[in-house]
Amino acid sequence: MAEDELVPEDDGGQSLVRSGADDVERAAEAALRPRHLDEFVGQPVVREQLSLVLQSALSRGRTPDHVLLSGPPGLGKTTLAMIIAAELGASLRVSSGPAIQHAGDLAAILSSLEEGEVLFLDEIHRLARPAEELLYVAMEDFRVDVVVGKGAGASAIPLALPPFTVVGATTRAGLLPAPLRDRFGFTGHLDFYADGELQRVLMRSAGLLGVPLDVEAAAEIASRSRGTPRIANRLLRRVRDWAEVRGDGRLSLAAARAALEVYEVDHRGLDRLDRSVLTALCSRFGGGPVGLTTLAVAVGEEPETVETVAEPFLFREGLIARTPRGRVATADGWAHLGLTAPVPTGTLFG
């Protein structure tokens, strides 16, 4: 199951996720992770393909091919990396692209690996170029070249590495250079979850948390979770908080709706920032077109925040569209705010 993947990526726009998980929250997320592939809910195609890769490697007594997992944040890439290590009976070494700034940083990690270990590289598309080139050789030939000396007298000494498996995770597979992509023997793409799958995630999580969750409440939370298990689990914990403090402790449909209203998550999963962007686009700019920078200033956020946090979900829901002249609100976007779209005038903002 893919719930509660811990990655330092954008969260698809959920303000509760952006609030920053403290140690208690992180411990709660970790407790909800499945430990084995047969516990993993959703992603049936990737799960079956990965099972074949792992079972084949185990039957041959060899390390499996390197694995690349791509897809939006919160769908289970980190969880799958942990499951791969558990299924192989191997230890897991964790790092990330932003943390490896130099080839020497990666060389230190690789040279300390033991045979059969799994190296999980999160945000692998953000690896520095020198580290990237070192990783090519390590993945293909299981060696690293250690440079000794400087200038004309420098020499490279090859250092053999024991067989290991790299599990790379990326939210932007298109940024991976072809030579790196080609080193992965298996590539799995994780898609957003259907509401029914999220309900199964929520019912399992409620059982682990020891809270009574009604089926209707699970359906309500799932419908507002943006197809993302991580968000579903975090909303579940917020509904639990509301039920314990203001309700009778039971996570009923009424409790779910009341809690999600408090946390400003509407019936389609839009949060405060999403609605601010959509409202500014419609009310202040007549539905657009409007430039990203102008729109960001209007809602008091950085352009990157609007572009990477709010817009992906609004685009996916069909509430806004991107045109050569800027962002525009769709008819569905106007309707979601209860507004009537004006007759187009061709005015351009920003």
Q: Give pLDDT tens digits for 140-189.
A: 889 887 666 565 556 667 788 899 999 999 988 888 888 888 899 999 99
Q: What is the pLDDT of residue 231?
A: 93
List active site positions: 77-78, 122, 171, 230
CA distance 325 to 56: 52
Instruction: Convert the pLDDT of each residue in 326-342 to its tens digit.
Output: 899 999 999 998 888 77
- Of 190, 180, 265, 208, which is closest to residue 231 (Cα–Cα)? 265
Q: Where are the domains of the chain?
A: 43-189, 195-262, 272-336
CATH 1.10.8.60 fits 195-262, yes or no: yes
Start-to-end Cα distance in the chain: 43
How many residues does this entry show for the chain? 350
* Percent with pLDDT over 90 in the chain: 50
Q: Do residues 235 and 215 lie in contact, with contact meaning Cβ atoms separated by under 8 Å?
A: no
User: How does residue 343 score in pLDDT terms, banded at 50, 70 and 90?
Assistant: low
Half-sphere exposure of 199 (CA within 13 A, CB side): 11
Q: Do residues 47 and 40 lie in contact, with contact meaning Cβ atoms separated by under 8 Å?
A: yes
Record the pTM. 0.81
Query: What CATH number does the domain located at 43-189 have?
Result: 3.40.50.300
Residue range 272-336 forms a domain whose CATH class is mainly alpha
31 residue type, one letter: A
Alpha-carbon Rg for the chain, nearest whole angstrom, is 23
